[in-house]
Amino acid sequence: MSSIDTLIANTIRPDVQQLAGYHVPDASGYIKLDAMENPYELPYELREELGRRLADAVINRYPVPSYTTLKQKVCARLGVPAGYDVILGNGSDELISIMVTACARKDRRATVLAPIPAFVMFSMSARLAGMDFVGVPLRPDLSLDKEAMLAAIAEHKPALVFLAYPNNPTGNLFNADDMAEIIRAMKDTGIAVVDEAYHPFAKTTFMDRLPEFGNLVVMRTLSKLGLAGIRLGYMSADPALLAQFDKVRPPYNVNVLTQIAAEFALDHMDVLDRQAELLNAARDELAAELASLPGVEVFPSAANFLMVQVPDADQVCANMLAKKVLIKNLVKMPVLANCIRVTVSTPEENSEFLNALKASLGGTT
């Protein structure tokens, strides 16, 4: 064993040593349809104006840690109830990390619970914080298994339950009444987090129900809306609960360039909303095209991606990679045998994906 191996063995937690890193493949030269990004840029005149504002950024000083102006715009433009504030984070990932850090305990092992398959950071962040993670499989039709969730809550008494709405990677919306029953079941013992990363496309929300549930957190990101590059997420909850999470937030976690870009984008929400409408229409068209292919099943989606079952997902993904098209292989996830996930993109990229998929399907027979 080398000296560095000995150092790692003596200092790094064993569970961290055993973890596989979150690998993001290099997309240079590829059609990138694996990360649910908005393919549309801001119009040229808006990019010019944004460039001028960024040029005036005071980058030699730390950000103002209260982020007052940006938070006010988020609350005003994105449907946060009156009297409620938000915490900002470096994407949803940091918000999840803030919550699990605040709920991890030294006196006993705390638990995070979520339906599976789900966003991988729910389980990864929990484990990195020293918490247990319990996954409750979706039903075969991908709906939320409310009875199993309630039983798991009674058994494990989780500190946090994550519910994605719509769910990633399946794309479907869980039954809102079932979700409300789960939130109520957690009322005094745990916090329910509704992750609305794909709200710009689903247009349905629990944000306006925050006053109804004192233990509810609603979390969103601007990434799917078209601002993935600036890494900004936000979450809202009862002010007393939010204040506890804010104690864990690093004081300068949102940089000044992100603040300026986000404030500018929120002043032009009409442009981003129109892009979301284009992608919703393209999603429906792409779903119809895919459903017409032999051996292909398309699942309903309220997000900017589609989950598709194909005869041999491993082979299809390998064929698509050879054709320089990146999609997500979901075969290692529970109940998703031979499923792939594809981001809805521009008409040109959707057409290239379809042509590549048709050729790839031909290669699986």
Least confident of 4-8, 191-195, 206-210, 289-293: 4-8
User: Distance between CA 270 and CA 265 in Å, rounded?
Assistant: 9
pLDDT given for residue 363 in this prediction: 56
pLDDT given for residue 65 in this prediction: 79
Mean pLDDT of 329-338: 92
Domains and CATH numbers, the chain: 22-42+270-360 (3.90.1150.10), 56-267 (3.40.640.10)
Amino acid at 303: A
pLDDT given for residue 35 in this prediction: 93
Say whether pLDDT at 132 is over 50.
yes
Count, in order, helices (H) and strands (E) of the chain.
14, 13
Q: Are 308 and 283 in contact (CB under 8 A)?
A: no
pLDDT given for residue 1 in this prediction: 78
Rounded to two decimals, the pTM is 0.95
φ and ψ of 115, to 5 deg: -65, 150
Say whether pLDDT at 326 is over 60.
yes
pLDDT in tens, 72-120: 999 999 999 999 999 999 999 999 999 999 999 988 899 999 999 999 9
pLDDT in tens, 208-239: 999 999 999 999 999 999 999 999 999 999 99
pLDDT given for residue 365 in this prediction: 42
pLDDT in tens, 245-296: 999 999 999 999 999 999 999 999 999 999 999 999 999 999 999 999 999 9
Helix 269-291 / helix 347-362 crossing angle, nearest 10 deg: 20
User: Distance between CA 193 and CA 171 in Å, rounded?
Assistant: 18
Sheet with 191-195: strands ordered across: 87-89, 233-237, 216-221, 191-195, 160-164, 111-116, 132-137
> Tokens in use for 277?
């409408």
User: Distance between CA 220 and CA 61 in Å, rounded?
Assistant: 28
Distances (CA, A) of 188 to 106, 166, 207: 20, 26, 20
> Tokens in use for 60?
């030699």
Say whether pLDDT at 66 is over 90.
no
Say whether pLDDT at 364 is over 60.
no
pLDDT in tens, 9-63: 999 999 888 887 777 777 788 999 999 999 999 999 999 999 999 999 999 999 9
> Tokens in use for 143?
């709906």
User: Distance between CA 163 and CA 110 in Å, rounded?
Assistant: 18
Pick from 44, 37, 46, 32: nearest CA to 228:
37
User: Distance between CA 69 and CA 101 in Å, rounded?
Assistant: 27
Confidence of residue 334 (pLDDT cuts 50, 70, 90): confident
Amino acid at 282: A
